[in-house]
A and B are shown apart, each in its own frame.
Chain A
Amino acid sequence: MTAPRRLLAGTRQDGRPLGLAEHVATHGPLPAPRRGDARDLQRRLTGAPLRGRGGAGFPAARKLATGWQAGKRGQLIANGAEGEPASLKDGTLLQLSPHLVLDGVQQAARSLAAREAVVAVHEGAACLPVLHQALQERRSVDTVPVRVLVVPPRYVAGEASALARAAGGGPSLPALHDQPLAERGLDRRPQVVLNVETLAGLALYLRHGPQWYGELGTADEPGTLLLTVRSSGTQAAVMEAPLGTPVRAALAGAGVAVDDVQAVLVGGYFGAWLAAPQVLDLPLTHAALRAAGGALGAGVVVALGRQECGLRATAEAARYLAGESAAQCGPCLNGLPALAGGLELLAAGEGSPELLERLDRWCRLVEGRGLCHHPDGVTVLVRSALAVFADDVAAHQRGGCGRPAGRALAVPRRVP
Protein backbone atom coordinates (compact mmCIF):
# COMPACT_ATOMS: atom_id res chain seq x y z
CA MET A 1 0.00 0.00 0.00
CA THR A 2 1.51 3.33 -1.01
CA ALA A 3 0.72 5.74 1.77
CA PRO A 4 -1.53 8.57 0.54
CA ARG A 5 -0.28 12.06 1.39
CA ARG A 6 -3.13 14.44 2.04
CA LEU A 7 -3.08 15.44 5.71
CA LEU A 8 0.66 14.81 5.71
CA ALA A 9 1.26 16.10 2.16
CA GLY A 10 4.63 17.77 1.72
CA THR A 11 5.70 17.11 5.29
CA ARG A 12 9.32 16.56 6.11
CA GLN A 13 11.01 13.44 7.43
CA ASP A 14 13.30 15.45 9.69
CA GLY A 15 10.40 16.74 11.84
CA ARG A 16 10.65 20.41 10.85
CA PRO A 17 7.30 22.05 10.11
CA LEU A 18 6.10 23.34 6.78
CA GLY A 19 6.36 27.13 6.84
CA LEU A 20 3.57 29.25 5.42
CA ALA A 21 5.10 29.55 1.93
CA GLU A 22 5.76 25.81 1.73
CA HIS A 23 2.24 25.12 2.96
CA VAL A 24 0.80 27.27 0.18
CA ALA A 25 3.09 25.59 -2.37
CA THR A 26 1.84 22.17 -1.21
CA HIS A 27 -1.89 22.82 -0.70
CA GLY A 28 -2.61 25.92 -2.73
CA PRO A 29 -3.46 29.47 -1.66
CA LEU A 30 -5.04 30.23 1.68
CA PRO A 31 -8.82 30.37 1.50
CA ALA A 32 -9.71 34.07 1.58
CA PRO A 33 -12.89 35.30 3.22
CA ARG A 34 -15.49 36.87 0.95
CA ARG A 35 -18.71 38.77 1.54
CA GLY A 36 -21.38 36.51 2.93
CA ASP A 37 -18.52 34.31 4.04
CA ALA A 38 -20.25 32.62 6.98
CA ARG A 39 -23.30 31.64 4.88
CA ASP A 40 -21.11 30.46 2.03
CA LEU A 41 -19.04 28.23 4.31
CA GLN A 42 -22.19 26.90 5.97
CA ARG A 43 -23.62 25.99 2.60
CA ARG A 44 -20.46 24.22 1.50
CA LEU A 45 -20.06 22.36 4.77
CA THR A 46 -23.68 21.25 5.13
CA GLY A 47 -23.78 17.49 4.80
CA ALA A 48 -19.98 17.19 4.47
CA PRO A 49 -18.95 13.60 5.28
CA LEU A 50 -16.38 14.61 7.91
CA ARG A 51 -16.31 12.50 11.06
CA GLY A 52 -14.64 13.80 14.17
CA ARG A 53 -11.15 12.43 14.77
CA GLY A 54 -10.91 13.08 18.49
CA GLY A 55 -12.32 9.71 19.44
CA ALA A 56 -16.12 9.88 19.28
CA GLY A 57 -16.39 10.08 15.48
CA PHE A 58 -19.30 12.50 15.69
CA PRO A 59 -20.16 14.13 12.34
CA ALA A 60 -18.31 17.44 12.37
CA ALA A 61 -20.71 19.22 10.00
CA ARG A 62 -23.59 18.33 12.29
CA LYS A 63 -21.78 19.73 15.31
CA LEU A 64 -20.99 22.92 13.39
CA ALA A 65 -24.61 23.16 12.20
CA THR A 66 -25.75 23.09 15.83
CA GLY A 67 -23.46 26.06 16.40
CA TRP A 68 -24.76 27.86 13.30
CA GLN A 69 -28.36 27.43 14.41
CA ALA A 70 -27.75 28.68 17.93
CA GLY A 71 -28.35 32.29 16.89
CA LYS A 72 -25.30 33.60 18.73
CA ARG A 73 -21.72 34.08 17.59
CA GLY A 74 -19.90 30.99 18.75
CA GLN A 75 -16.38 30.12 19.78
CA LEU A 76 -14.29 27.51 18.00
CA ILE A 77 -12.03 25.39 20.15
CA ALA A 78 -9.44 23.30 18.29
CA ASN A 79 -8.50 20.31 20.41
CA GLY A 80 -4.80 19.51 20.16
CA ALA A 81 -4.65 18.35 23.77
CA GLU A 82 -3.77 14.79 22.97
CA GLY A 83 -4.11 13.22 26.39
CA GLU A 84 -4.39 9.66 25.11
CA PRO A 85 -0.96 8.25 26.02
CA ALA A 86 -0.87 5.83 23.11
CA SER A 87 -1.69 8.49 20.51
CA LEU A 88 0.88 10.63 18.72
CA LYS A 89 -1.06 11.76 15.67
CA ASP A 90 -2.32 15.18 16.81
CA GLY A 91 1.07 16.30 18.08
CA THR A 92 2.67 15.04 14.87
CA LEU A 93 0.16 16.84 12.66
CA LEU A 94 0.60 20.12 14.55
CA GLN A 95 4.35 19.73 14.47
CA LEU A 96 4.63 18.93 10.75
CA SER A 97 1.71 20.77 9.15
CA PRO A 98 0.38 23.43 11.52
CA HIS A 99 -0.98 25.65 8.75
CA LEU A 100 -3.35 22.99 7.45
CA VAL A 101 -4.88 22.78 10.93
CA LEU A 102 -4.95 26.57 11.23
CA ASP A 103 -6.66 26.94 7.83
CA GLY A 104 -9.39 24.64 9.13
CA VAL A 105 -9.56 26.66 12.35
CA GLN A 106 -10.13 29.86 10.37
CA GLN A 107 -12.78 28.35 8.13
CA ALA A 108 -14.72 26.60 10.90
CA ALA A 109 -14.54 29.77 13.01
CA ARG A 110 -15.68 31.96 10.12
CA SER A 111 -18.64 29.67 9.47
CA LEU A 112 -19.67 30.31 13.09
CA ALA A 113 -19.07 34.07 12.76
CA ALA A 114 -16.85 33.48 15.78
CA ARG A 115 -15.17 36.37 17.52
CA GLU A 116 -12.25 34.16 18.43
CA ALA A 117 -10.78 30.73 18.07
CA VAL A 118 -8.78 28.81 20.65
CA VAL A 119 -6.18 26.11 19.98
CA ALA A 120 -5.65 23.91 23.03
CA VAL A 121 -2.47 21.93 23.64
CA HIS A 122 -0.95 20.33 26.72
CA GLU A 123 1.70 22.04 28.77
CA GLY A 124 5.12 20.94 27.55
CA ALA A 125 3.84 19.74 24.17
CA ALA A 126 6.64 19.60 21.60
CA CYS A 127 4.45 21.36 19.03
CA LEU A 128 3.95 24.51 21.16
CA PRO A 129 6.80 26.58 19.68
CA VAL A 130 5.83 25.45 16.18
CA LEU A 131 2.24 26.50 16.82
CA HIS A 132 3.22 29.94 18.10
CA GLN A 133 5.56 30.44 15.14
CA ALA A 134 2.87 29.42 12.64
CA LEU A 135 0.32 31.78 14.21
CA GLN A 136 2.87 34.57 14.03
CA GLU A 137 3.50 33.84 10.34
CA ARG A 138 -0.18 34.16 9.47
CA ARG A 139 -1.13 36.96 11.80
CA SER A 140 -1.77 39.38 8.94
CA VAL A 141 -3.97 36.98 6.96
CA ASP A 142 -6.09 35.37 9.70
CA THR A 143 -9.41 37.18 10.11
CA VAL A 144 -10.47 35.39 13.29
CA PRO A 145 -8.07 36.04 16.18
CA VAL A 146 -6.57 32.83 17.53
CA ARG A 147 -5.18 32.28 20.99
CA VAL A 148 -3.28 29.28 22.29
CA LEU A 149 -4.69 27.69 25.42
CA VAL A 150 -2.19 25.63 27.36
CA VAL A 151 -3.83 22.99 29.54
CA PRO A 152 -2.35 20.71 32.21
CA PRO A 153 -0.86 17.42 31.01
CA ARG A 154 -3.81 15.41 32.36
CA TYR A 155 -6.05 13.06 30.43
CA VAL A 156 -9.32 14.82 31.31
CA ALA A 157 -7.90 18.24 30.41
CA GLY A 158 -8.58 17.36 26.75
CA GLU A 159 -12.23 16.48 27.37
CA ALA A 160 -14.58 18.86 25.54
CA SER A 161 -16.28 20.47 28.55
CA ALA A 162 -12.94 20.74 30.38
CA LEU A 163 -11.58 22.67 27.38
CA ALA A 164 -14.67 24.85 27.30
CA ARG A 165 -14.18 25.60 30.98
CA ALA A 166 -10.49 26.36 30.60
CA ALA A 167 -11.19 28.56 27.56
CA GLY A 168 -13.36 30.69 29.84
CA GLY A 169 -10.59 30.98 32.43
CA GLY A 170 -11.78 28.11 34.63
CA PRO A 171 -10.03 24.91 35.70
CA SER A 172 -9.37 22.11 33.20
CA LEU A 173 -12.05 19.86 34.64
CA PRO A 174 -15.23 18.51 33.04
CA ALA A 175 -18.27 20.71 33.58
CA LEU A 176 -21.97 20.05 33.86
CA HIS A 177 -23.90 21.05 30.77
CA ASP A 178 -27.50 20.03 30.20
CA GLN A 179 -27.34 20.95 26.51
CA PRO A 180 -24.63 20.15 23.97
CA LEU A 181 -21.78 22.66 24.11
CA ALA A 182 -22.27 23.46 20.43
CA GLU A 183 -25.81 24.56 21.22
CA ARG A 184 -25.12 26.42 24.44
CA GLY A 185 -21.70 26.58 25.95
CA LEU A 186 -20.62 27.31 29.49
CA ASP A 187 -20.96 31.07 29.05
CA ARG A 188 -24.13 30.66 26.99
CA ARG A 189 -22.62 31.18 23.54
CA PRO A 190 -22.04 28.05 21.43
CA GLN A 191 -18.66 26.40 21.99
CA VAL A 192 -17.74 24.04 19.16
CA VAL A 193 -14.88 21.70 20.04
CA LEU A 194 -13.22 19.96 17.10
CA ASN A 195 -10.08 17.83 17.01
CA VAL A 196 -7.12 19.29 15.12
CA GLU A 197 -7.13 16.44 12.60
CA THR A 198 -10.83 17.00 11.97
CA LEU A 199 -10.06 20.65 11.22
CA ALA A 200 -7.21 19.74 8.86
CA GLY A 201 -9.58 17.39 7.03
CA LEU A 202 -12.16 20.16 6.86
CA ALA A 203 -9.57 22.48 5.26
CA LEU A 204 -8.73 19.84 2.63
CA TYR A 205 -12.41 19.18 1.95
CA LEU A 206 -13.16 22.86 1.39
CA ARG A 207 -10.09 23.38 -0.79
CA HIS A 208 -10.59 20.41 -3.09
CA GLY A 209 -14.30 19.55 -2.90
CA PRO A 210 -16.36 16.47 -2.09
CA GLN A 211 -15.49 14.58 -5.26
CA TRP A 212 -11.77 14.78 -4.65
CA TYR A 213 -12.29 14.02 -0.98
CA GLY A 214 -14.19 10.85 -1.83
CA GLU A 215 -11.54 9.46 -4.20
CA LEU A 216 -9.97 7.76 -1.18
CA GLY A 217 -11.74 5.90 1.59
CA THR A 218 -15.10 4.19 1.36
CA ALA A 219 -18.45 5.41 0.01
CA ASP A 220 -19.88 5.90 3.50
CA GLU A 221 -16.64 6.99 5.13
CA PRO A 222 -14.58 8.89 2.57
CA GLY A 223 -11.15 10.38 3.05
CA THR A 224 -8.03 9.47 4.94
CA LEU A 225 -7.16 9.38 8.61
CA LEU A 226 -4.07 9.42 10.81
CA LEU A 227 -3.23 6.31 12.78
CA THR A 228 -0.76 5.68 15.58
CA VAL A 229 0.43 2.09 15.28
CA ARG A 230 2.29 0.48 18.17
CA SER A 231 3.65 -2.84 19.33
CA SER A 232 6.30 -3.85 21.86
CA GLY A 233 8.74 -4.71 19.09
CA THR A 234 8.37 -1.65 16.85
CA GLN A 235 8.86 2.09 17.11
CA ALA A 236 5.51 3.86 17.41
CA ALA A 237 4.52 5.08 13.94
CA VAL A 238 2.11 7.77 12.81
CA MET A 239 0.78 7.02 9.36
CA GLU A 240 -1.91 8.30 7.05
CA ALA A 241 -4.22 5.72 5.48
CA PRO A 242 -7.50 5.75 3.56
CA LEU A 243 -10.55 4.80 5.60
CA GLY A 244 -11.29 1.16 5.00
CA THR A 245 -7.65 0.08 5.16
CA PRO A 246 -7.52 -3.38 6.78
CA VAL A 247 -5.91 -3.57 10.23
CA ARG A 248 -3.38 -6.05 8.80
CA ALA A 249 -2.12 -3.48 6.28
CA ALA A 250 -1.80 -0.76 8.93
CA LEU A 251 0.22 -3.10 11.16
CA ALA A 252 2.43 -4.25 8.30
CA GLY A 253 3.02 -0.63 7.30
CA ALA A 254 4.52 -0.03 10.74
CA GLY A 255 6.70 -3.14 10.57
CA VAL A 256 4.63 -5.23 12.98
CA ALA A 257 4.99 -9.01 12.49
CA VAL A 258 1.36 -9.80 11.80
CA ASP A 259 1.72 -13.54 12.47
CA ASP A 260 2.81 -12.84 16.01
CA VAL A 261 -0.29 -10.78 16.85
CA GLN A 262 -2.57 -12.19 19.54
CA ALA A 263 -5.00 -9.29 19.73
CA VAL A 264 -5.29 -5.64 18.68
CA LEU A 265 -6.52 -2.71 20.74
CA VAL A 266 -8.16 -0.30 18.34
CA GLY A 267 -9.10 3.23 19.39
CA GLY A 268 -6.77 3.87 22.26
CA TYR A 269 -7.26 3.57 26.01
CA PHE A 270 -10.94 4.23 25.29
CA GLY A 271 -10.97 1.48 22.73
CA ALA A 272 -11.66 -2.21 22.76
CA TRP A 273 -9.50 -5.31 22.34
CA LEU A 274 -10.33 -7.45 19.35
CA ALA A 275 -8.95 -10.94 18.81
CA ALA A 276 -6.65 -12.07 16.01
CA PRO A 277 -6.98 -13.45 13.40
CA GLN A 278 -10.45 -11.92 12.82
CA VAL A 279 -9.36 -8.38 13.69
CA LEU A 280 -6.61 -8.41 11.06
CA ASP A 281 -9.07 -8.35 8.17
CA LEU A 282 -11.34 -5.69 9.63
CA PRO A 283 -11.41 -2.48 7.61
CA LEU A 284 -10.57 0.60 9.64
CA THR A 285 -13.95 2.34 9.48
CA HIS A 286 -16.30 3.44 12.25
CA ALA A 287 -19.00 1.11 10.94
CA ALA A 288 -16.90 -2.06 10.67
CA LEU A 289 -15.30 -1.60 14.08
CA ARG A 290 -18.62 -0.87 15.76
CA ALA A 291 -20.11 -4.00 14.16
CA ALA A 292 -17.19 -5.98 15.58
CA GLY A 293 -17.83 -4.64 19.08
CA GLY A 294 -15.07 -2.02 18.99
CA ALA A 295 -14.57 1.54 17.84
CA LEU A 296 -12.20 3.49 15.58
CA GLY A 297 -11.66 6.05 18.34
CA ALA A 298 -8.59 8.23 17.97
CA GLY A 299 -7.01 5.93 15.41
CA VAL A 300 -4.69 4.14 17.81
CA VAL A 301 -3.85 0.57 16.75
CA VAL A 302 -1.91 -1.43 19.34
CA ALA A 303 -0.80 -4.98 18.57
CA LEU A 304 -0.30 -7.40 21.47
CA GLY A 305 2.20 -10.16 20.80
CA ARG A 306 1.60 -13.82 21.57
CA GLN A 307 4.24 -13.73 24.31
CA GLU A 308 2.45 -10.91 26.13
CA CYS A 309 -0.45 -10.89 28.55
CA GLY A 310 -3.43 -8.74 27.65
CA LEU A 311 -4.81 -8.89 31.20
CA ARG A 312 -1.61 -7.49 32.68
CA ALA A 313 -1.43 -4.79 30.01
CA THR A 314 -5.06 -3.84 30.63
CA ALA A 315 -4.57 -3.80 34.40
CA GLU A 316 -1.72 -1.31 33.95
CA ALA A 317 -3.83 0.87 31.68
CA ALA A 318 -6.79 0.71 34.08
CA ARG A 319 -4.62 1.79 37.01
CA TYR A 320 -3.29 4.69 34.97
CA LEU A 321 -6.84 5.72 33.96
CA ALA A 322 -8.02 5.51 37.58
CA GLY A 323 -5.26 7.94 38.51
CA GLU A 324 -6.40 10.31 35.78
CA SER A 325 -9.90 10.71 37.25
CA ALA A 326 -10.73 14.37 37.71
CA ALA A 327 -11.94 13.31 41.17
CA GLN A 328 -15.17 15.30 40.84
CA CYS A 329 -17.66 12.46 40.63
CA GLY A 330 -18.14 9.75 43.26
CA PRO A 331 -18.77 6.80 40.95
CA CYS A 332 -15.58 7.45 38.93
CA LEU A 333 -13.41 8.33 41.91
CA ASN A 334 -14.46 5.16 43.72
CA GLY A 335 -15.25 2.82 40.86
CA LEU A 336 -12.13 3.13 38.73
CA PRO A 337 -9.68 2.24 41.51
CA ALA A 338 -11.96 -0.68 42.38
CA LEU A 339 -11.79 -1.88 38.76
CA ALA A 340 -8.04 -1.34 38.58
CA GLY A 341 -7.51 -3.13 41.86
CA GLY A 342 -9.67 -6.04 40.80
CA LEU A 343 -7.80 -6.39 37.50
CA GLU A 344 -4.47 -6.24 39.30
CA LEU A 345 -5.57 -9.09 41.59
CA LEU A 346 -6.67 -11.07 38.58
CA ALA A 347 -3.42 -10.33 36.75
CA ALA A 348 -1.45 -11.43 39.80
CA GLY A 349 -3.35 -14.71 39.95
CA GLU A 350 -4.92 -13.81 43.30
CA GLY A 351 -8.57 -13.13 42.54
CA SER A 352 -11.41 -14.79 44.46
CA PRO A 353 -14.12 -16.76 42.60
CA GLU A 354 -16.45 -13.76 42.97
CA LEU A 355 -13.97 -11.34 41.40
CA LEU A 356 -15.42 -11.51 37.89
CA GLU A 357 -18.88 -10.76 39.22
CA ARG A 358 -17.50 -7.79 41.16
CA LEU A 359 -15.72 -6.45 38.09
CA ASP A 360 -18.97 -6.64 36.14
CA ARG A 361 -20.84 -4.91 38.94
CA TRP A 362 -18.32 -2.09 39.15
CA CYS A 363 -18.48 -1.61 35.37
CA ARG A 364 -22.26 -1.26 35.59
CA LEU A 365 -21.95 1.19 38.49
CA VAL A 366 -19.59 3.59 36.73
CA GLU A 367 -21.17 3.57 33.27
CA GLY A 368 -23.06 6.78 32.50
CA ARG A 369 -22.72 8.16 36.02
CA GLY A 370 -20.49 11.19 35.90
CA LEU A 371 -19.78 14.47 34.16
CA CYS A 372 -17.77 12.95 31.35
CA HIS A 373 -17.24 9.67 29.54
CA HIS A 374 -13.89 8.81 31.14
CA PRO A 375 -15.37 5.95 33.22
CA ASP A 376 -17.34 4.63 30.24
CA GLY A 377 -14.11 4.36 28.27
CA VAL A 378 -12.53 2.34 31.05
CA THR A 379 -15.42 -0.12 31.20
CA VAL A 380 -15.28 -0.70 27.44
CA LEU A 381 -11.57 -1.48 27.73
CA VAL A 382 -12.05 -3.75 30.75
CA ARG A 383 -15.02 -5.68 29.37
CA SER A 384 -13.28 -6.25 26.05
CA ALA A 385 -10.16 -7.54 27.82
CA LEU A 386 -12.16 -9.99 29.92
CA ALA A 387 -13.89 -11.25 26.77
CA VAL A 388 -10.94 -11.44 24.39
CA PHE A 389 -8.52 -12.82 26.98
CA ALA A 390 -11.07 -15.22 28.50
CA ASP A 391 -8.59 -18.11 28.33
CA ASP A 392 -6.06 -16.04 30.23
CA VAL A 393 -8.74 -15.11 32.78
CA ALA A 394 -9.23 -18.81 33.47
CA ALA A 395 -5.44 -19.36 33.69
CA HIS A 396 -5.06 -16.42 36.05
CA GLN A 397 -7.79 -17.73 38.28
CA ARG A 398 -5.64 -20.82 38.61
CA GLY A 399 -2.50 -18.81 39.35
CA GLY A 400 -1.27 -17.08 36.20
CA CYS A 401 -0.27 -17.32 32.55
CA GLY A 402 3.44 -16.61 32.89
CA ARG A 403 3.56 -13.84 30.31
CA PRO A 404 4.46 -10.17 30.87
CA ALA A 405 2.41 -7.09 30.01
CA GLY A 406 4.76 -5.89 27.32
CA ARG A 407 5.23 -2.23 26.40
CA ALA A 408 2.81 -1.93 23.50
CA LEU A 409 0.28 0.18 25.41
CA ALA A 410 2.96 2.64 26.51
CA VAL A 411 1.31 3.16 29.91
CA PRO A 412 3.04 6.16 31.50
CA ARG A 413 4.90 5.42 34.71
CA ARG A 414 3.64 7.75 37.39
CA VAL A 415 6.44 9.72 39.08
CA PRO A 416 5.87 9.19 42.83
Chain B
Amino acid sequence: MSTPQRLRVDWARCDGHGLCAEWAPEIIGLDDWGFPVVAPGAVPAGALEHARSAVQACPVLALKLLPIRPR
Protein backbone atom coordinates (compact mmCIF):
# COMPACT_ATOMS: atom_id res chain seq x y z
CA MET B 1 0.00 0.00 0.00
CA SER B 2 1.43 3.38 -0.92
CA THR B 3 -0.95 5.64 1.07
CA PRO B 4 0.19 6.24 4.65
CA GLN B 5 -1.67 4.10 7.17
CA ARG B 6 -2.45 4.55 10.84
CA LEU B 7 -3.37 1.97 13.46
CA ARG B 8 -6.72 2.74 15.00
CA VAL B 9 -7.84 1.16 18.30
CA ASP B 10 -11.56 0.57 18.80
CA TRP B 11 -11.55 1.45 22.47
CA ALA B 12 -14.95 -0.07 23.16
CA ARG B 13 -13.73 -3.47 21.95
CA CYS B 14 -10.22 -3.37 23.40
CA ASP B 15 -9.95 -5.39 26.60
CA GLY B 16 -6.23 -5.08 27.11
CA HIS B 17 -5.24 -8.59 25.96
CA GLY B 18 -1.90 -7.18 24.85
CA LEU B 19 -1.24 -9.41 21.85
CA CYS B 20 -0.82 -6.37 19.61
CA ALA B 21 2.18 -5.18 21.63
CA GLU B 22 3.75 -8.62 21.23
CA TRP B 23 3.43 -8.52 17.45
CA ALA B 24 4.44 -4.90 16.86
CA PRO B 25 6.58 -3.81 19.81
CA GLU B 26 8.28 -1.10 17.76
CA ILE B 27 5.04 0.86 17.48
CA ILE B 28 2.78 -0.50 20.23
CA GLY B 29 3.51 -0.40 23.93
CA LEU B 30 1.24 -1.15 26.89
CA ASP B 31 0.15 1.32 29.57
CA ASP B 32 -0.04 0.78 33.35
CA TRP B 33 -3.32 -1.08 32.90
CA GLY B 34 -2.38 -3.27 29.91
CA PHE B 35 -3.96 -1.13 27.18
CA PRO B 36 -2.13 -0.32 23.93
CA VAL B 37 -0.21 2.90 23.49
CA VAL B 38 0.21 3.30 19.75
CA ALA B 39 2.97 5.53 18.38
CA PRO B 40 1.27 8.57 16.84
CA GLY B 41 1.18 9.26 13.12
CA ALA B 42 1.74 7.00 10.14
CA VAL B 43 3.00 3.44 10.60
CA PRO B 44 6.59 3.41 9.28
CA ALA B 45 6.92 1.29 6.11
CA GLY B 46 9.27 -1.10 7.87
CA ALA B 47 6.70 -1.79 10.60
CA LEU B 48 3.70 -2.39 8.34
CA GLU B 49 4.13 -6.14 8.24
CA HIS B 50 4.14 -6.31 12.05
CA ALA B 51 1.21 -3.91 12.19
CA ARG B 52 -0.83 -6.22 9.97
CA SER B 53 0.06 -9.17 12.20
CA ALA B 54 -1.05 -7.22 15.24
CA VAL B 55 -4.38 -6.48 13.55
CA GLN B 56 -4.85 -10.18 12.81
CA ALA B 57 -3.80 -11.25 16.28
CA CYS B 58 -6.28 -9.13 18.25
CA PRO B 59 -8.84 -11.57 19.67
CA VAL B 60 -11.59 -8.95 19.75
CA LEU B 61 -10.88 -7.26 16.40
CA ALA B 62 -10.15 -3.96 18.09
CA LEU B 63 -7.27 -2.96 15.79
CA LYS B 64 -7.58 -1.66 12.28
CA LEU B 65 -5.21 -0.17 9.72
CA LEU B 66 -6.81 2.87 8.15
CA PRO B 67 -5.57 5.28 5.49
CA ILE B 68 -4.66 8.67 6.87
CA ARG B 69 -7.25 11.17 5.61
CA PRO B 70 -5.79 14.28 4.01
CA ARG B 71 -6.89 17.47 5.84
- Taking a contact as CB atoms under 8 Å apart, the answer to whether A328 and B11 are in contact is yes
| Chain B proximity mask over A151-175: 1 for CB below 8 Å, otherwise 0 | 0000000000000000000000111
A371-B31 CB under 8 A given contacts A178-B66, A365-B37: no
A176 interfacial contact with B, CB 8 Å: yes
| Chain B proximity mask over A294-337: 1 for CB below 8 Å, otherwise 0 | 00000000000000000000000000000000001111001100
A369 interfacial contact with B, CB 8 Å: yes
* Nearest CB of A to B19, in Å: 15
Q: Which residues of A contact B31 (CB under 8 A)?
A: 331, 365, 369
* Nearest CB of A to B69, in Å: 8
Q: Which residues of B contact A365 (CB under 8 A)?
A: 31-32, 37
- Taking a contact as CB atoms under 8 Å apart, the answer to whether A369 and B8 are in contact is no
B1 interfacial contact with A, CB 8 Å: no
* Count: A-B pairs, CB below 8 Å: 43
Q: What size tier do the contact residues of chain B reach?
A: 10 to 19
Cα of A176 to Cα of B31 in the assembled complex, Å:
21
- Taking a contact as CB atoms under 8 Å apart, the answer to whether B12 and A371 are in contact is yes
Q: Which of B1-37 contact A (CB under 8 A)?
A: 8-12, 14-16, 31-35, 37
Name A330's contact: one of B8, B11, B66, B69 (CB within 8 Å). B11
Q: Which of A328-364 contact B (CB under 8 A)?
A: 328-331, 334-335, 338, 361-362
Chain B interface helix/strand/loop/mixed: loop
Q: Which residues of A contact B11 (CB under 8 A)?
A: 176, 328-331, 369-371
Cα of A289 to Cα of B37 in the assembled complex, Å:
31
- Taking a contact as CB atoms under 8 Å apart, the answer to whether A331 and B12 are in contact is no
* Nearest CB of B to A284, in Å: 29
- Taking a contact as CB atoms under 8 Å apart, the answer to whether B32 and A334 are in contact is yes
| Chain A proximity mask over B40-66: 1 for CB below 8 Å, otherwise 0 | 000000000000000000000000001
Q: Which residues of A contact B37 (CB under 8 A)?
A: 365, 369
Cα of A362 to Cα of B35 in the assembled complex, Å:
13
- Taking a contact as CB atoms under 8 Å apart, the answer to whether A331 and B10 are in contact is no
Cα of A369 to Cα of B66 in the assembled complex, Å:
17
- Taking a contact as CB atoms under 8 Å apart, the answer to whether B16 and A176 are in contact is no
Q: Residues of A within 8 Å of B, CB-based: how many?
A: 19
Cα of A176 to Cα of B69 in the assembled complex, Å:
16
Cα of A328 to Cα of B35 in the assembled complex, Å:
13
Name A176's contact: one of B12, B32, B33, B35 (CB within 8 Å). B12
- Taking a contact as CB atoms under 8 Å apart, the answer to whether B32 and A329 are in contact is no
Cα of A369 to Cα of B12 in the assembled complex, Å:
11
* Nearest CB of A to B36, in Å: 9
Q: Which residues of B contact A370 (CB under 8 A)?
A: 11
| Chain B proximity mask over A247-289: 1 for CB below 8 Å, otherwise 0 | 0000000000000000000000000000000000000000000
- Taking a contact as CB atoms under 8 Å apart, the answer to whether B12 and A330 are in contact is no
Cα of A176 to Cα of B16 in the assembled complex, Å:
17
Closest A residue to B14 by beta carbon equals A330
* Nearest CB of A to B9, in Å: 8
Q: Which residues of B contact A361 (CB under 8 A)?
A: 32
- Taking a contact as CB atoms under 8 Å apart, the answer to whether B16 and A330 are in contact is yes
A328-B12 CB under 8 A given contacts A178-B66, A369-B37: yes
Cα of A335 to Cα of B15 in the assembled complex, Å:
15
* Nearest CB of B to A207, in Å: 34
* Nearest CB of B to A377, in Å: 16
Closest A residue to B16 by beta carbon equals A330
Closest B residue to A176 by beta carbon equals B10
Q: Which residues of A contact B9 (CB under 8 A)?
A: 369
Cα of A178 to Cα of B9 in the assembled complex, Å:
11
Cα of A330 to Cα of B33 in the assembled complex, Å:
8
A330-B15 CB under 8 A given contacts A365-B37, A369-B37: yes
* Nearest CB of A to B38, in Å: 9
* Nearest CB of A to B64, in Å: 8
Cα of A328 to Cα of B16 in the assembled complex, Å:
12
Q: Which residues of A contact B16 (CB under 8 A)?
A: 330
A178-B35 CB under 8 A given contacts A329-B14, A330-B14, A330-B15: no
Supply 9 further A-B pairs (C-beta < 8 A) apart from A330-B15, A365-B31. A173-B12, A176-B10, A329-B11, A331-B31, A331-B33, A331-B35, A334-B32, A334-B35, A369-B35
Top 3 A-B residue pairs of the complex, sorted by shortest distance between their CB atoms: A329-B11, A330-B35, A334-B33
A-B pairs with beta carbons under 8 Å apart, 19 shown: A173-B12, A174-B12, A176-B10, A179-B69, A328-B11, A328-B12, A329-B14, A330-B14, A331-B11, A331-B33, A338-B32, A365-B31, A365-B32, A369-B31, A369-B35, A369-B37, A370-B11, A371-B11, A371-B12
